[in-house]
Structure 1
Amino acid sequence: MMKIKISALFLVLLPVIASAKVVPQDCVAWPMNITEGWLKRSGIIDISDLDEPKTEVKLLASQKKAHNLHTNIYRFVFHAKDGRKFEVITQNDASDEECSMSEVNSYLVSKSTINY
């Protein structure tokens, strides 16, 4: 009976284990810093107006490429001190040792304002 329960648990967890991805070192700072600069240069928002502790980050995808490179896709939601939000998707390459193996491509997906 115990073997059946363990086998059932393994079968339930197998898709989770199989889909787990090996992601290189935590490389969120590189695309985040580059994107903040891009937001400023584009005239969207000044970096000093961002409430950085509220920044939301999610790694959407990491695809392994040749020569220990990974293409990382992140979703950032930057929060301004005045309540505005800026959702940005980034794409860049990183290696197992270095986060800045390519430029960061940043795409503004949405911006919103809370009206009270």
Structure 2
Amino acid sequence: MKRALTVLLLSLPVLCPAQGRPNPPCDRWPTNIAENSLKDAGMLGNIDYTKTQAVQLSSEKIGKSEDGEQLWREVYHITFHEKGGKKIKVIAVNDAGEFECSMSAVEVFVVSNHLLPKVESDRMFKQIE
């Protein structure tokens, strides 16, 4: 009985796949728009592009566009590293279609401070950092 329950529990992720976009994430679109927005606001200088990170936090179906294409709302945590060592962190939110990443404007939220939990071993926070 225990064995059957274990097999059932282990097979649940296979039976209930996540609802992401069918194509790879569109991390370059919100990253480029966030970079331009930060530069226009005078908040970002000389970037070290090799250290720029974009982590997708969320992707959720939100309906269909006017031409019937499925739309997803995507949320990214983006970290820019300046060559001087300064880090600028933003949250970028935009809508993406099945074949087009730029289905809406990108909203950029500057993260001024990130309060880490007392338990520093939390995987989610380490992945974002």
Question: TM-score by structure 2 length?
Answer: 0.72
Q: Give runs of aligned pairs for residues 66-105 of structure 1, distance below 5 A.
A: 66-67=63-64, 68-105=70-107
1:8 pairs with one of 6, 16, 30:
6
RMSD: 2.5
Structure 1 residues 20 and 38: alpha-carbon distance in aligned structure 2, compared to 1, 3 A threshold: same
Q: Give runs of aligned pairs for residues 19-58 of structure 1, distance below 5 A.
A: 20-25=18-23, 26-46=25-45, 49-58=46-55
Question: TM-score by structure 1 length?
Answer: 0.80
Which residues of structure 2 form unaligned runs of 5+? 65-69, 114-129
AA aligned opposite 2:59: S
AA aligned opposite 1:108: V
- Separation of aligned partners in 1, 2:14 and 2:108: 30
Which residues of structure 1 form unaligned runs of 5+? 112-116
Q: How many residues align?
A: 108
- Separation of aligned partners in 1, 2:16 and 2:90: 29
Question: Can you list the C-alpha shifts for 1:14-50, whole angstroms capped at 9, x where unaligned?
Answer: 258636232243211110000100010000013xx11
Cα distance, 1:8 vs. partner? Answer: 1.1
Q: Are the aligned partners of 2:20 and 2:60 in contact in 1 as well (CA < 8 Å)?
A: no
